[in-house]
Every structure is written in structure tokens, then in C-alpha cells.
Structure 1
Amino acid sequence: MWSGRDRPDPAVVQGFYDRMRAVAPAGAGAIERDARRRAGERRFPETACGRLVASLDDTGVRALGMWVHHWCLRCYEDDNRVALRLIEEIAGRTGLGWTVDEVLWMFGETHVTPYVEQGFRLPVAAAAELGPAELSALRPEVEAILDWLETGRSPFSTAARRRIARQLRPVVDGSVTVADPLPAWLLHVGDRFGATARERYGDRLRRPGVVTVLTHAATLARVEPTARWLRTGRSAVAGAPDAVPAIRGLLELFTEQEEAPLHDDGYTVVLHPDAETLLRGLLWLVADTDQEWVTPLLAAVTVHAATAFAGAPGFPHCPRLANAAVLALSRRAGVVPVVTLARLSGSVRNRALLTRIRAALTGLGAARGWSPEEVLELSVADHGLDAEGRRVTKVGGYEAVVGIEQGRAVLRFERDGRALKGVPAVVRADHPGELADLRSLVRDVGTSLAGERGRIESLLSADRVWSAADWAARYLDQPVTGCFGRRLIWQTEVGPGRWVTGWPHREPSGWTLLTREGTVLPVGRVRLWHPLRAGADEVGAWRDRTMAGDLRQPLRQAFREVYRVTPAEKATRFHSDRFAGHILRYRQANATMRTRGWATTYLGPWDGGFEGEAVREFGAWRARFFHALVEDPDEHDHGTRYCVTDRVRFDRRDGTVWQPVPVTGVPPLVFSEAMRDVAGFVEVASIATDPQWRDRGTARFRSYWAEETTGPLTTSAEIRRDVLSRLLPRSGIADRVVLGPRFLRVRGSRGAYRIHLGSGVVRTDPDDTYLPVAVDRRPPVPPLPFEDAVLTEVLSRAFLLLADDGITGGTDLRRVTG
């Protein structure tokens, strides 16, 4: 930690101890008497310690100071204020004749226990008594301490590190003729940002007045500054002509920073806390500047600060900077703040930051007369795409087309109306900048698509209604949202409380709805169709419609699972045990919860880590899914491998308080969508949906796996069965498969098999032998109306087993079929 230079000669140090032993009894007695008599309220000369100091010569005072310095660093008394006062008094005395060896020894004592801020007080004060030549001998030691402080490896707070560094810096500067006007504690080498900033902007940062601005910015301890702090900062900026360009450069540099380890401890950061504090202050100093670059730059800082670390969706890069940037951005005019914050509201998983973003969006919406939901609708960026979701740019004699296909952003090149494969060589060679911009645009469109897909799916739990004009403008003509809205099923109100269902259809006069029978409906008020609101016949007819037209919906709607309150849930009243008792692969379950917008902690074998809950808000309603860690005695790595599911509860917001409600009091759409999410956690992460688990999983859960891979179908599996009942008759394998209540039976050339529709597990028929089937190369399957991993696996295994005489590789049928 320190420089490691030679310490004072042992004989010299022994002399120190001899002198300290001579004054120690008197010092201990004086400290004890003053502590007992509460001497802190009296003047120092009137205390026992004061009288002791007055009785000693300079050598004795130095010995007493060294003894107290040594004792305070090692003794953590409940009340050592008397000793600390004694150190302060001795440190404040001048002309005591301190030597280099004495100061080196005291710094060495600070090194032994470098966690007490007062440990630096006396050696720094003693060093101030030394001359330039003597300070040169101290310089390596002090520079090592400064490096330890300024690179953030010390345990002190930012303010404490700054106080200590401010004391130590003159020791180094006093031994050289020219001091750097840019203090080392500003933009220090504790992260890549500080080093890069000094290299790129060093000259600019050292110009008159800029250091004063930076120093003031680094004092902002809060997310939002006080009026007094802002006045002082603005006055400093006004007095430094180069301050605003320097601030702009540092903020732009931050947006380029990538995740990197902090020192050698593997801890990943984007900014050191000191740099984050500095940038937070700089951001507020330009937040109200009337220049066109400010708003886009604040937006970029907000996005980068709020972006989560790879693999850790709940941990923003710079949470305090992100919170400050959200506040500053929300006070800017124009559409950029709304668009930026709306995008972040769909991607941020940190609960505190998300609350701040939503509050800012609500304020922006209120200022424009929008509801929070309308803010999200109206802030979707179109990225320059036309109504069909395309943007054409001329590049190197070709047409570069950025478009949306099947809900995905793509880049294609065309020439003379003919699509090309890949990127033309001339574009790669001669137009790299334009190609990079096009790819960046594709990424931006993809981000918007992901956000819109999640937002539209969340509307299925809300009872939103739109006017015909708003519906057409926001959900059909908007190029990004429209790629979803035009492939969804909607309802229009044809009379009070009477809703008719249809598919979006464009007429010369504008958008209408087309019923299954082909009737064109005039559109009044519009809402999203949900199968919960329809009877079985209507749901089945719309499923036929989507299958017949081979229309792949952007999200599962016609085939959406529906969950209604059961008699058992009515009996338990305030909770549902419908999904309790399942064994989940925990890491996968936790990731799925976060992906679907449920806030949850991480379970583990530590205090408070054995039980958890995942929480998601649905407007004024909240669902809570409880789960618990399952320790596996077969595992010895103390990792978190499995969890067991528990009950689901619901609450309703009452002002600022959440009140528990019975399940029968939850709106049907909210109940159904919340339970659908929980069912998804189980289906995605249950060990029962891993067909290969039996060969590699722990024996403890084998009975659960066996029951779940042969038992009754879940609601999701019933939907799967319904799809197969419509799909198989149209396929070429209808005469060799039989769809049963739980299994798809397949007749191959060498044997018969059955595939469980809930898990995809294969068993031989009729002897029920488990068959591990590994689909190394997935055979082509018929188009599916929605994405479903298990359904795809069921069909892939079915096609594979139909040609069982040609199976090679990981699936060995000989041991079960002979």
C-alpha cells in the first residue's frame, strides 16, 4: 500500500519507544481523568492533558504526540474524544522540532491501521514543519499514500479521502518547484475515465477558472443541487470562458466509457465514485444552458448512466448520475426528453431508478396534457421510417433499406429493385462511416421494437380504450408500433357495452376492422381483444383464422393462456397455491422474472437469502410471487441451483400504501396476466421441462420430475395441444401420429413413442421407457403461430422419431427398441 521505502533505523525507533514509555503513564492518567470529568467543555490549558503538555519540553511533547498517535490507531475505545483532542492540540503547535524519522515512523503507524482518518492528522502537521530537502525524503511515502487514496482503494468516503489528500498534497508539492494546477484528486487514475480525460483534455482543464469549476462540481453530495450551490457554480462558470467546452467534452467522454475492472480486484465499473460525483455536478452546471447540444447530450448521458451491466439487469452503470440526469433531462423542452425517458422506462430494471423515470415521465406528460400511458405511446421514435416501416438511403450506387420484417429490424441492400445478399464490397470499402451509421440505426430500431413489444403486451392487462383517430395514429400508422398493431386483434364498440371483434383493415377512407366473416366495421372506440373476454367458440374461430392465413402474431394473443379464479383460490381468499411446489432451476428462473419485468432479489445461502419474492405492478395493482431456496445435498459448491415455488398474493395501491386484497377482488385481466407470468416462470425454468434432466439431475427431485413429465397438462400445454390439433391435419405426418390428452404418439420405422406435451420428454410406447432424445440438427417443422420452445421441441422430436431408422449421434434407440 505504502511505498515500502526503508523505515528509520531500528536503533532510532527503539529510542522513540524509550521516550514514549517515559511519558505514557502520565499521558494515560491525564486522558483517563479528563474522560471521567467530561473535560471536553473546558479550555485545553485547564484540562489534565493541557497541564501535562505545558509541563513537557518540545522533545517530551513530540514523544507524547507519538504515543497518543500510536495508541489511538490500535485502541477502538467507545469514547476516545479526549485522545483525539490531544492529537489536535499537539498537531496545532509549531516549532516542536519534528524530524524526518519521526514523521516516517508516524506514517508507518498509519499504514498499520489505515482506516482511521485522524491517523493522518499528526504526521501531516509534523511534515509541514520540515524543509524542502527533508520533504524530498518523505515524498515517495506520501505519494504512495496519495495514490492509495486517490485511486479509490482506501475505505474512506469521498469527502474523507479529499480531506486527507488536501492535507497530504502540500507535503509533495513543497518538495518541487512547480505544482500541477489540476489537483491529483480530480480526475484521478482510479478508472479509465480519469486517465483518458487528463490525456485528452489536460490542457483545456488547466486553463484559468476551469479547475475552480471542476472543484466546485466535485462537492455535489446530493442527486439534486441546492439553489445556493447552483448560484456559486454558475458564477464560477461565468468567470471561466473555457469551462463550458470542458464540461461538454467530459460529458461526451463519459458516453464513450465501457465497463472495465477497477484495479485488480475484478470489480467492474464504468466510473469511479469520485468521477461520478464530479460528472453529476458538471451536468447540473450546464442543465439550463440554452444551447442546442445540451438536450441530446443530457439524453445520451442519461441512457449510458442508466444502462445495466452485462448480466446484471438491476444494476445501472452509474445510479446516482442516472438519477441526476433524469431530473435534469426532464426539465428540458422538446420531444427528446420524453422519447429518452419513455425508452428507459421499458428497459430499466432498477426499482429506485425506474421510480424516478416514471415520475419524470408523469411530470412531462402532465405539462403536455398527457396521461402516463399516452406519454409512452406518443414518445415512440419513428427513426425516419415510412408508414410501412422502411427507410431507403443511397449508398455507393446501391439502395440501403433499413426495415422491419417479422418484428425484427434488418438491413438489406438493393439494386435495380433486386435484393442482394450481404453488404456490397464497394460499400464496405468506400463507405465505412455510412455503413456504421446504418447498422447503428438498425440497433436503435431493434431497441424500440423490443420496448414496444413489451409495452403492447402489458396493455393486455389494462382496460385501455382509444378513439378511432388515436388508435390509427398510434398503433397502425406509426412505423414501429404499427408493425405490431396491424397484426393484432381489436374490438370496437358498436353500442353501449357491445363490442365486436375484428382485424385491422385499410380502406380508401382509412382504417377499419374486418370481422372473421369479412364484414367491414366502422370504428368508434377501440380496445385490444383478450381471449378472457370471449367465449370458447369465438376464441377457436380466431385461432382458426390466424392458422389459416399463416399469420404469425407479434405476441401471443389468439392462443393466449387464460387464468380464472378457481374454487380452491376462492377458498384460500388472499393467495393462490396454483403454482406452488414446483422445483425450478433458480438462475434461469431469476433471469426470466427480471426479463418479464418482475423485481426480485437474488436467493443464496446467506442471512435473509433463503426466501424471496418477485413483484410486478399492474397500474394500481401488484402481484407478489413467493419462492424459496432449495439446498441440494448432492452439491458441494454452495451455489444456488434450485428453488421451490410458493404462493401468489395481490395488493392494491391505497395512496402510498399497498393493501392486500382477496383474489376475487382482483380485475380478471390483471389476475390472468399475473398468473400467466408465474406459469411462464415455471414452464421455462422447471426441471420437468428439461428432457435431459433425468440423466444429469439430482436424485432428490427425480420423483417430482417423473410426475411432471407424465402428469396432466398445464394451461400452456393445453394451448400447445390446441395448436397441434389444428396443425397436424394439414401436415404430411397426420397418418403416423396420434394426438392424445397428454401425449403426441409417434409411429416410427423401428418402434412407437409418445411425447409429453407439457415437457417434451419422450418415452417408448407401450412399455414407458424413458428415452433421452438429443436433437442435434433440428428437422424442418411447419410454421407456428407463435414462438414456443417446447412446442418446437415436440415437433422436432416427432419428425426425428418418424425417421428413427436413420438416427445417429446422441440419440441411441437400440437400447430401448432392440
Structure 2
Amino acid sequence: MTAATRLTRLLNDPEPTEEFRYEDVARLSDQELGDLLPTAYGLGRAPTYPATLARHAVEDAGRERQPRYTPEACRRMFEALLAGTRVRDWADLTLGAGALVRCTGPWPELSAPARALAEFILAKDDLRQPYALLAVAGLAGEETLRAVTDRLGRDAGPVGLAELAVITRLTDAERMLLSEAERDYSFTSPPPHPDAWRGIADSPAYAEFARAALGEAADRADALHAGKIPYRADKAFTDREVAALGHAARVALLRDEPWLPALLDRLLPGITLAPTAARTVPSQALLYELARAAQDFPTPEMVTALRHVRTTVRHAGVPKQLAKMLKKIDAALAERTDVALRLPALGFEGDGVLRREAGEYAAVVRVDGTTAELTWEKDGRPLRAVPAPVRRDHPDLVKELRDLAKRVGSQLATLVRALEGGYTVDAVHPYGWWRTGLATHPLARSVVRRLIWEVEIVPGDWRPVLPETDDLPDAPEDAAVRLWHPLRSDPDAVRAWRDLLTERRIRQPFKQAFREIYLLTPAEETTRTYSNRFAAHLVHYRRMFALFRARGWRSNLLGHWSDGEQDGAVRTLGAGEWQVRFLHSLADWDGDEPLASTDQVRFSRRVEGAWREAPLAEVPPLVFSEAMRDVDLFVGVTSVAADPEWADGGPVRAYWERAGFAELTASAEARRDALGRILPRLKIAGRCSLDGRFLVVRGELRTYRIHLGSANILMEPDDSYLCIVPARGKGADGKGADGKVFLPFEDERLSLILSKAFLLADDTRITDASILAQIGRGA
């Protein structure tokens, strides 16, 4: 007997003779799952406990996978939805529309159940699923569709009415796709179909609407600021208009429309600044909906525009919310390699400098690394501040150039994130475009030239190049170019690049030559589908949760509520084909601060639109390494072992003592490698040496051993612990102890270790009574 047969019997038999087995659900094919879902949904309250288990397990699988429906299963789904209205007093129309999107054959005749469902929803005046309602009403015929559009059109606003008008002209299949893309209040539907928005964007009618709708929104924002429309905070657009404009933005962003950037430069400032001096916003709802659209289909211009308005908006809460959303957008942009690296020149010369005259003065905007600085000159001599005559006679120019410098900084930050994120997709570019669009681009060159690249001179022969020190090689215009990664290089080459960067004092925009690599271990080959490499650590949970957001991981906030005490943080990698999950759970408390316990790391592969768990050995090495690098960061930064003031006893103290001086992780090994190159150049070099996992510092009073992972300190000869709490902001700027030490990459922990080393090497000049008391006890 097959798994599908056993489950069918359990769902239909009022007196089943078999027990439910979870493994049966896992064995279902996508089509068998689609055949069972109408039965499970239509069951309502299951007559037996095994049937209840089977129903919930089948529905859970339907939410996680991409079921396939035969025409007969589609008919049964609509019948189950209709029958369910008598029991549930509701119908999940999105589930019915989604069945048709995934139908394996010609759609069945559904006008009668579709009409009954639409009339039921209208009678209830339940408009929680407007787009699914429109899709189902279209199956019932023009009269029912007209009744639904008339009801939805109340208080919809001009843009909302325009969208309803275009929806009535779409095909039934296109209406189903729009319902699939806009998942309103559906708790039983599978993950959105991966091609839903592409199908909508390919509709000429909807693409035309998208441009008109966004143009209308920008015109309305202009009219608000011109005083032609009365201003009311957060009332510039109706709820229906906000949803419609979100759809329009997704279509325009997915199509990468050339007219969109200029329009966004009008629209976004218009909806984020009040036409008065008030600290209100014309439409927070539209701003956040556009940001959510950017999370789905980001472009560099959209990211830059959002970053720019974040710096200009006067509303106190908006910048913080936008910052959270931008972290997700940055991660998504890195996956969209076809547009991620595009960058306008904005009038800058080839050397990354823009000059503007202001009477007898000159403004100079100069790109340096990942920032742009505005300075002023007279007769070629730099000035300390904006000249008073320029402030008086050219205030608009001053504001324009200050905004330009901020915008360039935002663009370069976006570029850096997109370049680094391209590792997991193994992004490759044609040499001709890379040379002109990145390596010699007036803005991008300051970032790109300090990174190591590989050019495929002939097939299979990749030649590394650092544009900052080397001439660009002769190569065909269509030759492949990609970022160099130490995982693809031998150890001698890695050491040579690290030596060169240190000698030339080249600080890379992100850690590349010193980048950690993570290879599959024998233990992970044994566990096969999961890694325990970073399990059983105790971490400050809120700090780790913040890091999840910063690195583009999705996670639910842990808490003492139903299913809230454990979760898995998730990040999608490899152009959307791979997913990593980092399991963690609430463990203890440090006063009012929750502590979490870390657990397994697991990977899944996208198969026919659904995520299926994959063995670690099948994960591409770059995807595996980059994912584990993030997890190492989460644990290393937030572990209580790195808290110098930890004093509690019990099991947490035992963990602190064990982990605070444990073997080095890959990130700590990279730190040790960097220190080995930096120390000989320091004035305290004669007092420092590396010994295994410690930096040993010989002071006048005692000798100190600083752990390279946690930065915790032990004192010789008795290994007593020395607690040093750095002053806020000290040792965290990436410049070392006195702001002058060159570091080849940004690393707060490395800077902290060097700060402590400088302090302890000259321990006779320490004035802090707490530190002196600890040193004196064993001196």
C-alpha cells in the first residue's frame, strides 16, 4: 500500500484501522500532495485523532511545498472551499486560485462554485483577499466580476480604481497570478509560485498601468508640496492605492524600467517630507510598501534613493524602520546580479573628482574608498569650511553638493554589499563591461581597484589581478571576470596576497584576502544533513537577533509564547537556489537580558519551487563557506564568552570559562594571521609575541595572555583573569589602539585586542584603580 493510499484512508475512514505515520507525508509526490489537499481542507473537524494528525500534516506539507493539481483536484478544491463556508464561515480563496496556477492540465468548468464563493464573500462583506476574490469572480463571469469591482472600488482612490480597471482586462490566468503574488490572509497556501510576478510583469496592460500609476503618485506628491492639495499626515493615498502602487513598483523593478529611477527621485522625497516644517510624513504606508517592493526586486537606484530619503526624513521613527528594511534589501540585491553592480557617473571625472565653480571659489567632491567628501578651494588652496560668500550667494549649490556626497556614499555602500554578496552566486562578468563599468568607473573604481579579481585569459586559465597595484591585463572583451576568493586559491597564494596588502597598506572594502574559509569536516560528513560546529554556545540573544537582521537573515523573535522558545534563522543564498537555517532557542537570563543556546546548521535546496533538505556534501563549497562564516560571526560576537564582565556562577559560568579561552575558530585564525603581519610594525613589537591561541604581552608588572577569539585576558604566572572593559567606542573603529595602526580589514575584535595590548605593554602608566587592583594581587 502506498503512502498516498494510507493517508487517503485515514482522511476518509471514520473508523481507521491504521495509525498515522509522519513519514508517509514526506514520501508524497507533489501531485499526490495536490490530490490530498482538497480532502484535508474539506475535512473540517476530523472524526478521529489519526485523521486529525493526517489532516494537519498534509496541510503543513502544502504550506511548505509546491503541490501540483490535476484538473480533477482543482475541481475538488473549489468544492471543498464552498463546502467549508458552512463550517468555517469563510473560504481561503487564495488556496483555490493557487490550485489553478499549479494545475497540470486544462482548467475544469468552475463557474458555478466560483460564483457561489464570490457571492458568499460579498454577502459577508469580507474583503481580506481582494485579489483572490477578483480572480475567482472572473471565473464566474462578467456580472460577478463587475459586482466585485464595484464593491472594491468604494473609497479605492484614483490609482486603486485604475488598477481595478486593468485587472478586469487581464486574462483569467493573469488574475490568478496576481492573486498568487499578493498573499492576503492565506494561512493554508503553499509558498508563492516563483514565476508569479514575472507572469504579471509580462502583461503589457499591467506594465502600462505600472508606469501610469507611479507617475500619478509622483504628480500627487508634487501637488501636495506645491500647496494644490490640502496636506494631512499619512493620508496622501488610500489603502487600496498603496497596495496598487506596491504592485506597480514590483512590476517596474522586475522589468528594470529605464524611466523608474528619475520617477523615484520625485516620488520618494515627495512622500517622506511634509510640505511644511512638520515632522510628519505624507504617506508612511506607501514608503514602506515601496521598500517591501525593493526587498522583492531591488535595483541599485532604488536602494540609493531609499538610503537618501532615510537621511533627509524628519519623522523620528522612519529612519530606524528604513534601516531595518534596507538590510534585507541589501541582501536581496546581492542575489540579483544582473542589475546589482550598475552605478551612474553623476558627472564625476575619471579620477573620482567633481568640481563646481561658485564665484571665485570652487567646490570639490572627491571619492575616497566608500565615502565622498565635499571640500572648498580658492585659487587651488583648500579651505577649512564653506566660505561665507558661498553660503550667502549659493545656498542651493551647497545643499545640492552635500546631498550629492551623501548619495554617492549610499551608492558605494550598496555596491560593496552587492559585490560581497555575489560570492554565493559565483558572479561572473564580461571583461569589457567590468573594465569600463567597474574598474575605471569614476565612482566604482575606488572600491573595485582595492579588490582582487580573476580574469579568464583563456578557457580554464584564471589570472588574479589587483587593479590598485597592477595594470589591467589584455583579455578579450567577452572574457570572464570574477572576484577572487581564498577558497579557490592555494595557501601560498593567499599568504602572498596578505603580505602585499599589508606592505602596501591597502585596506579592502570588505575582508577578502584575509577572508575565512570553512570546509566540510569529518564530523559533518558523519552527521550528513546538519552541522554541530557552532552548537551549544550561549549567546546574548538580542545582540544576535540584531546581527541576523544586519546580515540579511530572517528570524522570528524568541519569547515565552506558543512555539516562541525556539526558531531557525534563515538566509537564502546562491541566486535563490540554496537556503541555510541556524537553529537556536531560549536558554537562560542575564538579569532582564535573554540568553539563547545555539544548535544545528542545516541547508535546503530549491526543487520545483519548494525547499528540500540537502546533505551538506551537496552544498556548493562557496555557499557552505559563506553561510558558515555568518554563523561564526553570530556566535563570536554575541557569545557570553566574549563578555569581560561575566561573573554569574552555575552552568553559564562554566561555559564562559570553557569557551572564553577555547580553540580558535576560522575568524579568530584570520585575526591571528593579520596580527602576525601587523605586530612587527608596532612600537610595542618587542613586548609582544603570538603563542597558539594567545597574543602574549610582556609588561613591566606582569605578563598577559590575550585570547584571540574572545579578547579575554589571563595573567602569568597563575593564569588569573584580568577584566578590562573598553570605554565606549574605543578599540572599535578598525584603526587599532591609537587610531594610527593600519589594519587590512575592519574587525572590532582585532582592534580591541590591539587596544588592550598597547595598554598592558605600558602597564606602569595604567591609572584605572580596578585594573591596578587586579594586576597587583599577583604581581
Please state if 1:570 is matched with 2:525: yes
Cα gap change, 1:687 to 1:214, in 2 (>3 Å): same
- Code of the aligned partner of 2:375: R
Matches within 5 A, 1:252-401: 252=222, 271=234, 275-278=238-241, 296-298=262-264, 300-301=266-267, 317-318=285-286, 321-322=289-290, 339-341=300-302, 343=304, 372-377=336-341, 379-401=342-364
Task: Provide the C-alpha distance between the structure 1 equivalents of 2:766 and 2:440, rounded to a whole number of angstroms.
Answer: 50
Give the Cα–Cα distance (whole angstroms) in 2 for the partners of residues 295 and 447 of structure 1: 15
Compute the displacement of 1:357 (Å).
8.9
Alignment counterpart, residue 642 of structure 1, candidates 569, 590, 595: 595
Residue 809 (str. 1) matches residue 768 (str. 2): yes
CA contact (8 A) 1:339 1:381 kept: no
For 1:648, the aligned partner's letter is V
For residue 664 of structure 1, what is the aligned residue in structure 2? 617
Q: Does 1:654 align with 2:607?
A: yes
Give the CA deviation at 1:689. Answer: 2.1
**What value does the CA root-mean-square deviation take over the aligned residues?**
4.7
Partner of 1:400, secondary structure, is: strand
2:221 to 235, 241, 251: 251
Structure 1 residues 540 and 223: CA distance shift in structure 2, 3 A: farther
TM-score, normalisation: structure 2 = 0.62
Say which one has the larger Rg. Answer: 1
Q: For residue 562 of structure 1, give the secondary structure of its aligned residue in structure 2.
A: coil
What is the match of residue 473 of structure 2? 512
Residue matched to 2:413? 450
Which aligned pairs between 1:31-42 and structure 2 lie closer than 5 A?
Answer: none
Question: Do the aligned residues in 2 keep the contact of 1:351 with 1:599 (CA within 8 Å)?
Answer: no
Partner of 1:720: 671
- In the alignment, what sits opposite 2:315? none
> Counterpart of 1:716 in structure 2: which amino acid?
S
Asked whether the equivalents of residues 736 and 746 of structure 1 are also in contact (C-alpha less than 8 Å), the reply is: yes
Give, as a single letter, the amino acid of the residue that structure 1 aligns with 2:290: A
Q: Which one scores higher on RCO, CA 8 angstroms, separation ≥ 6?
A: 2
Matching residue within 413, 432, 435 for 1:472: 435
CA distance 1:607–1:642, shift in 2 (3 Å)? same
In the other structure, the counterpart of 1:708 is: 659
User: Is the alpha carbon distance of 1:816 and 1:655 closer, same or farther for their aligned partners in structure 2, counting shifts above 3 Å?
Assistant: same
**Residue pair 1:581, 1:646 contacting (<8 A) in 2 also:** yes
CA drift of 1:808 comes to 1.6
Match of 1:581 in 2: 536
Distance 1:588 1:770 in 2: 25
Pairwise CA distance, 1:389 = 2.0
Structure-2 change in CA distance of 1:341 and 1:790 (3 Å): same
1:767 counterpart letter in structure 2: D
Q: Residue type of the partner of 2:595?
A: Y
2:378 maps to 1:415? yes
Q: Is the contact made by 1:489 and 1:502 (CA closer than 8 Å) also made in structure 2? A: yes
**1:183 maps to what in 2?**
none
Equivalent residue, structure 2, for 1:753: 704
Q: Does structure 2 conserve the Cα–Cα contact (< 8 Å) formed by 1:615 and 1:622?
A: no
Mark the CA change 1:429 to 1:700 in structure 2 (over 3 Å): closer, same or farther: farther
User: 2:582 pairs with 626, 632, 643, which one?
Assistant: 626
Q: Secondary structure at the match of 1:688?
A: helix
Letter matched to residue 551 of structure 2: R
Identity of aligned residues (%): 34
SS in 2 for 1:552: coil
* Alpha carbons of structure 1 residues 471 and 433: separation in structure 2 relative to 1, 3 Å: same
Match of 2:310 in 1: none
Q: Distance in 2 between matches of 1:525 and 1:247?
A: 42
> Equivalent residue of 1:499, what SS?
strand
* Distance (Å, rounded) in 2 between the aligned partners of 1:503 and 1:352: 29
- Distance in 2 separating the partners of 1:566 and 1:345: 42
CA 1:227–1:730 in structure 2 vs 1: closer, same or farther (change >3 Å)?
Answer: closer
Residue ranges of structure 2 left out of the alignment (5+ in a row)? 1-85, 90-122, 131-152, 171-212, 227-231, 253-257, 274-282, 308-321, 732-736
Where do 1:131-280 residues align within 5 Å?
A: 217=157, 220=160, 226-228=166-168, 250-252=220-222, 271=234, 275-278=238-241
1:486 aligns with 449
Distance 1:552 1:276 in 2: 48
Tell me the alpha carbon deviations over residues 20-43 of structure 1, each in whole angstroms, 9 at most, x when there is no partner. xxxxxxxxxxxxxxxxxxxxxxxx
CA distances 1:490-512 after superposition (whole Å, capped 9, x unpaired): 222344323232222699xx832
Q: 2:508 aligns with which of 553, 574, 586?
A: 553
CA contact (8 A) 1:476 1:486 kept: yes
Matched, 1:436 2:399: yes
1:497-533 per-residue CA deviation (whole Å, 9 max, x = no partner) reads: 23232222699xx8328xxxxxx99994322111111
Q: Equivalent residues in 2 for 1:666-685 (5 A)?
A: 666-685=619-638
| Matched position secondary structure for 1:650 | strand
Match in the other structure for 1:794: 753
Aligned length in residues: 552
1:612 aligns with 2:612: no
Segments of 5+ residues of structure 1 without an aligned counterpart are 1-77, 82-117, 119-154, 160-212, 231-242, 257-261, 263-269, 308-314, 331-336, 363-371, 514-519
Offset from partner CA, 1:695-741 (integer Å, 9 cap, x none):
4x675522111112211111111111111111112222222112110
For each residue in 1:622-659, what CA deviation from the matched residue of structure 2 results, as whole angstroms up to 9, or x when unmatched? 23233333253564x5xx62212111111122231122
| CA distance in structure 2 between the partners assigned to 1:522 and 1:283 by the alignment | 39
Letter in 1 for 2:234: L
* 1:543 and 2:498 are equivalent in the alignment: yes
Q: Secondary structure at the match of 1:376?
A: coil
Provide the rounded CA distance (Å) in 2 between the counterparts of 1:285 and 1:576. 42
Aligned mates of 1:252, 1:789 — CA distance in 2: 45
- Residue 214 (structure 1) shift: 10
Cα distance change on mapping 1:700 and 1:408 into 2, 3 Å:
farther
Give the distance between the partners of 1:816 and 1:768, measured in 2 at CA. Answer: 11
Contact 1:746–1:754 (8 Å) recurs in 2: yes
CA distance in 2 between counterparts of 1:598 and 1:284 reads: 24
Query: Counterpart in 2 of 1:531?
Result: 486
